[in-house]
Amino acid sequence: MGEPSAGARQALNRSGLASTNYELTPLSHSDRADLFAHLSDARTVEHMDIEPLADLAGADAVIAWATGLAASGDGIRWAIRDRAGAFAGTAGFNALVRERGSRGEVAYDVVRPRWRQGVMAEVLPLVLDHGFRALGLHRIEAMVTPGNAASAALLERHGFAREAVLRDYAFWKGRYWDQWLYARLTGDGG
Ligand SMILES: CC(C)(COP(=O)(O)OP(=O)(O)OC[C@H]1O[C@@H](n2cnc3c(N)ncnc32)[C@H](O)[C@@H]1OP(=O)(O)O)[C@@H](O)C(=O)NCCC(=O)NCCS
């Protein structure tokens, strides 16, 4: 990956984002208990590339991964909290590419008791705006495991097109998985 520009580096390091009802701050050690409660839910991680977390050490590993992502300039992961401070999930970018392209992969997960209550409907536009404007991305991708109807519908509602089925693209939980490749370009409507 190419070196991020100074502006993009600044945007990555900027501490947080906010919408009407939610605040996004870089995932940190203080999120570990909430993150464990969230990602130890088997239904939440059903279509994700991780097993349900078994203990707090699992949450620490996710936080260490997120911290490393930000430190390397390869991405960012935020904790989403409502205005009362209650944890609602996470969102961010993986795999930022700036050499011979300008793209990143958006990723998100909402705590199960809040599914279908409009958390991502509010947060995803904020994250995309950050990607297109602050990070200067031209193309934002998302990888979805076939069968994850909620994620596919969310992306399609927000201007993403399903471009391909990537056969046996990923390996986790002991087997290969196809992935739906979604993408939205700068000029695409949302
Ligand atoms: C995918 C996920 C993030 C959606 O977040 P959410 O906050 O529940 O979504 P919202 O309530 O804001 O819904 C926004 C839109 O997403 C779509 N959507 C969300 N849940 C849906 C579901 N169960 N079935 C179909 N469409 C759904 C709809 O288009 C919806 O708009 P609408 O309610 O006006 O029809 C959430 O289901 C989740 O965290 N799942 C587990 C983790 C995961 O799979 N992450 C994605 C990995 S690619």
CATH code of 73's domain: 3.40.630.30
- Provide the domain limits for residue 43: 6-138
Alpha-carbon span 48 to 153, nearest angstrom: 16
> Are the C-beta atoms of residues 183 and 160 closer than 8 Å to each other?
yes
Residue 1's pLDDT is: 44
Residue 189's pLDDT is: 78
Count of domains forming the chain:
1
Residue ID of nearest Cα to ligand 1 atom 20: 150
Query: Which percentage of the chain shows pLDDT scores above 90?
Result: 90
Is the minimum distance from the CB of 42 to ligand 1 under 6 angstroms?
no
Residue among 104, 101, 79, 75 at smallest CA distance from 13: 75
Rounded to an integer, the average pLDDT of 90-99 is 96
52 CA → ligand 1 middle, Å: 19
Rounded to an integer, the average pLDDT of 56-60 is 98
- Residue 162 gets the label, from left (phi > 0), alpha (psi -120 to 50) or beta, of beta
**Atom of ligand 1 at shortest range from CA of 109:** 39
**Atom of ligand 1 at shortest range from CA of 122:** 12
Residue 8's pLDDT is: 59
In this structure, is residue 166 part of a structural domain? no
In this structure, is residue 179 part of a structural domain? no
Tokens (6 digits) for 24: 């996004």
pLDDT, tens only, 1-39: 445 566 655 565 556 999 999 999 999 999 999 999 999
116 CA → ligand 1 middle, Å: 6
Residue 56's pLDDT is: 98
Tokens (6 digits) for 175: 């087997």
pLDDT, tens only, 137-148: 999 999 999 999
In this structure, is residue 158 part of a structural domain? no
State the average pLDDT for the chain: 94
Alpha-carbon span 79 to 17, nearest angstrom: 10
Alpha-carbon span 140 to 185, nearest angstrom: 6
